[in-house]
Amino acid sequence: MTQLPTPDSEDLRARYPEVFSRPVSARLAMPAMLLGAAGIFVFGLVDLDFSPARMLAGLHQLGWITLMMIPPDPGSSLPAYLVALGETLSIALLGTTLAAVFALPVSLLAARNIVPSNLFRFPVRRFLDSIRGVDTLIWALVWINVVGLGPFAGVLAIAVSDFGAFGKLFSEAVEAADKKQVEGVRASGGNALHEIRFGLMPQVLPVIAGQVLYFIESNTRSATIIGIVGAGGIGLQLAEQIRVLEWQKVSFLILMILVAVAAIDWISSRLRFAIIGRRAVA
Partner 1 sequence: MTVAVSMLPEQQLAVLNIAYRKAVARKRLRLALATAVFFAALVVAALGAEVNLGTFIAKIGNFVSYFDRIATLEGGARVWSDPGEWFWGWQKWLSLLGETILISYVGTLAGAILAFALNFLTAENTSPAPWLRFAVRRLMEFCRTVPDIVFALIFVIAFGLGPMAGVLAIMIHSVGALGKLYSEIVENVDMKPVEGVRSTGASWLSCMRFAVVPQVAAGFASYTLLRFEINVRGASVMGFVGAGGIGQELVVAVRKFYYSDVSAILLMIIISVFVIDIGTGWARGRLFGKEARA
159 binds partner 1 (CB under 8 A): no
Specify the residue, 101 or 176, whose C-beta has the smaller distance to partner 1: 101
Nearest approach, Cβ of 11 to partner 1 (angstroms)?
26
The single residue among 10, 11, 18, 49 that binds partner 1, judged by CB under 8 A, is: 49
As measured in angstroms, the least distance from the Cβ of 189 to partner 1 is 26
Sign of CA dihedral 156, 162, 168, 172: negative
Q: How far is residue 250's CA from residue 59's CA, in Å, rounded to a whole number?
A: 18
Q: Which of 211, 224, 237, 268 binds partner 1 (CB under 8 A)?
A: 224
202 binds partner 1 (CB under 8 A): no
Among 1, 53, 146, 187, binds partner 1 (CB under 8 A): 146
Q: Are 156 and 223 in contact (CB under 8 A)?
A: no
Question: Which of residues 39, 58, 105, 202 is near partner 1 by CB under 8 A?
Answer: 58
Binding footprint of partner 1 on the chain (CB under 8 A): 37, 40-41, 43-45, 47-50, 54-55, 57-59, 61-62, 65, 86-87, 89-91, 93-94, 97, 129-130, 133-135, 137-138, 141-143, 145-148, 150-152, 154-156, 221-222, 224-225, 228-229, 232, 235, 238-239, 242, 245, 250, 254, 257-258, 261-262
